[in-house]
Structure 1
Amino acid sequence: MEKLLAVPFAVLLIVILAACSNGNGVVGEAIQSTAGALAETSEGALVHDDNPMRVASDGARIQTDDPSIPTRVLEGGTKINMHFGDVVIPGTLNDSITAQDLISKLPYTVHVNRFSHDFCGVMDDPLEYSEEDVHFGWLNGDIDFATDANYFTILFEDEEKSEQYGYQVNIGKINSKLSVISELKGSYDVLIELAD
């Protein structure tokens, strides 16, 4: 019985501690400890309500030849530009319900902050999503929406240990080298708009 209660508690604690977190210090240690407990109580599989959760790579087309560019490969989709001050980062939004909801709001500005593996900010209103699109983790270069707190996030590293972070919906990817975004520092009011 204790193990059955530990799994939902561990998932909830990971989400609370990890959302847009840089994973450093006490919070980082708590996340790692909780993730270890989750893996132990679920015998190596991430579970929620006794069902295995999807991960970012499930059903994704990926490239592994060049780690300097996004892992996810998208064909088609809607081209966007994201303005980080004078730096413009091009991206592609996919055809998911969530991406289409964001597209309907463009141009859209969201305030984001840099953390250890992403730029993340809270959107004013939640985006629509389908439960079947919710997964754990990300691929480097992903643009995601976190359903638990209306987070818009661009993830540029740490995909190999990202499955401890849940409630992600992939809505696209950046179309530049990962270093273009990972070298940025600080906070930005990011204007997201359709590309010409």
Structure 2
Amino acid sequence: MNRAITATLAAALLLSACGGDDDSDQAEASVATTAAAATDPPATDPPATDPPVTDPPATDPPATDPPATDPPATDPPAGNVVEVSMIEWEIVAPTEFAGGTVTFDVSNDGEFPHELVLVRGESYDTLPLLANGAVDEDAIAPEDFIGRIERFEPGQTMSATWEVEPGDYVLLCNIAVGPNSHAAAGQVLSVTVTG
């Protein structure tokens, strides 16, 4: 019987040893799997990334001309412009200028009303005169009477444009009251118009 107990015990030990081997193989497999899991990267999808943020391409605003600061230019009068100043008892202006279309810009820089008359003639003294020294406009040929800027007040400026042929002319103020005449007092100027 001892032999039977010994054989049973030996069989039990053998079985427990086999069972222990299975457990230790499973334990080793489990440790190997855990170790492999710890050293290998996880098999996952890479993280989603947004595309890089970029600024839109720089665009310059369309080129525009700067706003005009000066008033628009106006066409100058055709031909020459002659500046004339009327004072007591004188006419201040160029004594020679080109003919054609001539604009007379006349300012009354005096203290009394004045007018400007343009007639063809060599000088004031060669024109037909009245007793008070005013020019007798009725005695002047129509083609020699070029034009008139009517009486205007001190501080005012008037303008007239006339066709003037080359030759000799007289600018004058032909205002006369009784025995007094602006022209006789010296408000005359002989001018030469060139071709």
TM-score range, shorter chain: under 0.3
Bigger relative CO (Cα 8 Å, ≥ 6 apart): 1
Q: TM-score, normalised by structure 1?
A: 0.24
